[in-house]
Copies of this chain bind each other. A is one copy, B any other.
Amino acid sequence: MTKTTLGYQSLAAILRAKVVSGEWRIGKAIPSEASLAKKFSVAVGTIRQAIAELAEDGVLIKHHGKSTAVSSGLNGQSMLRFFRYQLEGQKQILPQAKVLDIKQVTPDRDIVKLTGWKSKSLLKIHRIRLINGQPLLYEIIYLPLPQFKKLMQFKSKDFDDLFYPMYAKVCEIAVIKAKDQVSFELMKKTDAKMLSMKEGHPGVRVTRIAFDLTGKPVEYRSSIGDAMEFRYAAEVH
Q: A residues touching B (Cβ–Cβ < 8 Å)?
A: 58, 74, 78, 176-186, 202, 204, 208, 227-228, 230-237
Contact = CB atoms under 8 A, between A and B. Distances in A.
A164 B98 CA distance: 47
B184 A236 contact: no
Query: For the complex formed by this chain, how many copies does it contain in all?
Result: 2
14 contacts: A58-B237, A78-B236, A178-B236, A179-B234, A179-B235, A180-B234, A180-B236, A181-B233, A183-B230, A184-B184, A184-B202, A184-B228, A184-B230, A208-B236
B237 A181 contact: no
A21 B164 CA distance: 46
A65 to B, nearest CB: 18
A232 B181 contact: yes
Chain A at the B interface: mostly helix, strand, loop or mixed?
strand
Contacts of A231: 181-183
A33 B138 CA distance: 54
A3 B74 CA distance: 45
